[in-house]
């Protein structure tokens, strides 16, 4: 019998071994099963580590993720969002490798970097998403091309496409987890690059391979509503999300949780507070404000958002808070909570009044 080198053994393992999970007396035993990952064999060296031990670590992370977060009743869409949340919460972008011109494929360019080292480039994020998705029986691919980064520079980039209910969607996990000082946490995503169409992505993503993506069924509005409510509603729109935020603000403020309410208010500001029908976008004068607030209160609303016309006078600035208190004439209310924010770009005054019975 020929003596087989260690490297050859690893190559055989890469191509043939099936991932198994055996639970014996609460002891987990992992064996690397590359064949069932659904990945092209030629890509394995770019996904995983250089040795079998490292690959066992990768698959242990994947199996632990599935065990802890993926439930049998979950839809493909819910699985997808859970994968994105996990990667954003556990992985940081490897800035040191961003402009590395070396031809060597380091761990940060592999799924191994994202899942084991918790540090990766866009390639590592995309491959980690692809690997976990396939282990969750989702159809996913890695697409490559160029993208215009935050510095305004077009550079090589990698992201994903996922297949949901017969349609393909673009997903960029890296750009959901940008290089910033913001600590988003497990349950918060920017939702700028989840399930986008080609038209949405082509603004700054220029792919060289992949599928045509035109579907909107699982697009940004559905994603936003699901992220905030936990409900999949195909009729959800931006106004529905705004209304949900406002209801949360009321509950938090009436419960004395001012700081938590402020956090929700910030979400509302990022989303934009102007209703789709412009009903809360009004002239900045005390008569119009009073009339609008009274009409909303008469309909039972207790969270009232007002967006004033851009470039009007600054009667609703923070230093006029006493004016507001004295001129918003609401009877029979015990308190009036207000927030003054400026969107910075159009000098639009945004006010959120919360009335407590």
Give the domain range for residue 303.
Answer: 239-356
Assess whether 224 and 244 both reside in one domain: no
Q: CATH number of the domain that 94 lies in? A: 3.10.620
More confident residue, 146 or 238: 146
Tokens representing 228 are 């905030």
Sign of CA dihedral 252, 256, 257, 261: positive
Tokens representing 302 are 């207790």
- Phi/psi region, residue 320 (left: phi>0; alpha: psi -120 to 50; beta: rest), is alpha
More confident residue, 275 or 35: 275
More confident residue, 159 or 57: 159
Are 250 and 244 spatial neighbours (Cβ–Cβ below 8 Å)? no
- With b for 16 or more beta-carbon neighbours within 10 A and e for fewer, the 227-240 pattern comes to bbeeeeeeebebeb
Q: State how far the alpha carbon of 226 is from the alpha carbons of 96, 212, 234, in Å.
A: 35, 25, 10
Q: Which residues contact 101 (CB under 8 A, 6 or more apart)?
A: none
Evaluate whether residue 222 is within a structural domain.
yes
Assess whether 123 and 171 both reside in one domain: yes
60/295 Cα distance (integer angstroms): 58
145/176 Cα distance (integer angstroms): 18
- Among 205, 229, 253, the domain-final residue is 229
Assess whether 53 and 123 both reside in one domain: yes
The residue-averaged pLDDT of 190-215 equals: 93
The residue-averaged pLDDT of 329-356 equals: 62
Are 123 and 137 spatial neighbours (Cβ–Cβ below 8 Å)? no
Assess whether 156 and 199 both reside in one domain: yes
Tokens representing 31 are 């064996």
Tokens representing 139 are 């159809």
The residue-averaged pLDDT of 165-191 equals: 76
Are 173 and 130 spatial neighbours (Cβ–Cβ below 8 Å)? no
Assess whether 273 and 180 both reside in one domain: no
Assess whether 119 and 47 both reside in one domain: yes
Evaluate whether residue 284 is within a structural domain.
yes
Assess whether 244 and 220 both reside in one domain: no
Q: Which residues contact 180 (CB under 8 A, 6 or more apart)?
A: none
The residue-averaged pLDDT of 116-126 equals: 92
Are 126 and 157 spatial neighbours (Cβ–Cβ below 8 Å)? no
The residue-averaged pLDDT of 15-40 equals: 33
- Among 229, 261, 278, the domain-final residue is 229
What does the pLDDT read at residue 33?
41
Evaluate whether residue 27 is within a structural domain.
no
- Among 189, 206, 229, the domain-final residue is 229
- Give which of 193, 70, 78, 186 is closest to 126, Cα–Cα: 193
Tokens representing 7 are 């490297």
More confident residue, 229 or 114: 114
Whether 276 has a pLDDT exceeding 90, the answer reads: no
Are 222 and 232 spatial neighbours (Cβ–Cβ below 8 Å)? yes
The domain tally of the chain equals 2
Assess whether 266 and 212 both reside in one domain: no
Evaluate whether residue 223 is within a structural domain.
yes
Assess whether 172 and 263 both reside in one domain: no
What does the pLDDT read at residue 162?
97
Assess whether 125 and 168 both reside in one domain: yes
Tokens representing 246 are 């406002």
Query: What length does the chain have?
Result: 357
Evaluate whether residue 21 is within a structural domain.
no
Q: State how far the alpha carbon of 10 is from the alpha carbons of 1, 40, 275, in Å.
A: 18, 16, 59
Evaluate whether residue 184 is within a structural domain.
yes
Predicted structure pTM score: 0.68
Assess whether 272 and 347 both reside in one domain: yes
Are 129 and 83 spatial neighbours (Cβ–Cβ below 8 Å)? yes
Are 330 and 293 spatial neighbours (Cβ–Cβ below 8 Å)? yes
Assess whether 186 and 321 both reside in one domain: no
- Give which of 149, 208, 21, 173 is closest to 92, Cα–Cα: 173
Are 220 and 196 spatial neighbours (Cβ–Cβ below 8 Å)? yes
Q: Which residues contact 70 (CB under 8 A, 6 or more apart)?
A: 79, 82, 136
Whether 144 has a pLDDT exceeding 50, the answer reads: yes
What does the pLDDT read at residue 174?
92
What does the pLDDT read at residue 30?
30
Name the least confident of 31-40, 98-107, 338-347: 31-40
Evaluate whether residue 263 is within a structural domain.
yes
What does the pLDDT read at residue 24?
26
Phi/psi of residue 179, nearest 5 degrees: -80, 95
Evaluate whether residue 80 is within a structural domain.
yes
Whether 114 has a pLDDT exceeding 90, the answer reads: yes
The residue-averaged pLDDT of 1-7 equals: 38
Q: Name, of 1-5, 169-173, 220-224, the range with top average pLDDT.
A: 169-173
Q: State how far the alpha carbon of 220 is from the alpha carbons of 163, 188, 233, in Å.
A: 16, 14, 12
Q: How confident is the model at residue 146 (pLDDT cuts 50, 70, 90)?
A: very high
125/160 Cα distance (integer angstroms): 9
Tokens representing 95 are 């800035």
């Amino acid at each position: 019998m020929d003596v087989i080198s260690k490297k050859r053994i690893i190559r055989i393992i890469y191509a043939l071994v099936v991932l198994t999970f055996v639970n014996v007396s609460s002891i987990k035993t992992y064996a690397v099963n590359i064949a069932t990952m659904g990945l092209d064999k030629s890509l394995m060296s770019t996904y995983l580590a250089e040795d079998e031990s490292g690959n066992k670590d990768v698959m242990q992370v994947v199996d632990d993720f599935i065990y802890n977060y993926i439930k049998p009743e979950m839809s493909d869409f819910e699985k997808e969002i859970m994968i994105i949340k996990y990667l954003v919460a556990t992985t940081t972008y490897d800035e040191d490798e961003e402009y590395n011109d070396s031809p060597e494929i380091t761990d940060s360019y592999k799924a191994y970097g994202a899942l084991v080292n918790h540090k990766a480039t866009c390639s590592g994020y995309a491959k980690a998403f692809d690997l976990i998705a396939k282990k969750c029986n989702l159809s996913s691919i890695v697409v490559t091309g160029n993208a215009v980064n935050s510095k305004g520079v077009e550079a090589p980039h990698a992201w994903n496409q996922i297949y949901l209910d017969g349609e393909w969607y673009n997903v960029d996990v890296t750009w959901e987890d940008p290089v910033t000082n913001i600590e988003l946490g497990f349950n918060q995503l920017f939702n700028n690059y989840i399930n986008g169409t080609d038209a949405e992505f082509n603004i700054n993503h220029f792919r060289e391979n992949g599928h045509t993506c035109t579907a909107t069924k699982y697009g940004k509005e559905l994603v936003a509503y699901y992220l905030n409510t936990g409900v999949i509603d195909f009729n959800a729109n931006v106004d529905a999300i705004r209304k949900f935020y406002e209801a949360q603000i009321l509950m938090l403020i009436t419960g004395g949780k001012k700081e938590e309410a402020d956090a929700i208010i910030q979400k509302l500001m990022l989303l934009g507070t102007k209703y789709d029908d412009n009903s809360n976008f009004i002239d900045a004068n005390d008569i119009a404000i009073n009339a609008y607030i009274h009409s909303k209160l008469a309909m039972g609303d207790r969270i009232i958002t007002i967006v004033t016309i851009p470039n009007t006078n600054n009667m609703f600035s923070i230093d006029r808070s006493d004016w507001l208190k004295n001129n918003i004439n609401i009877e029979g209310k015990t308190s009036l909570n207000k927030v003054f924010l400026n969107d910075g770009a159009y000098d639009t005054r945004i006010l959120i009044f919360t009335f407590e019975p």
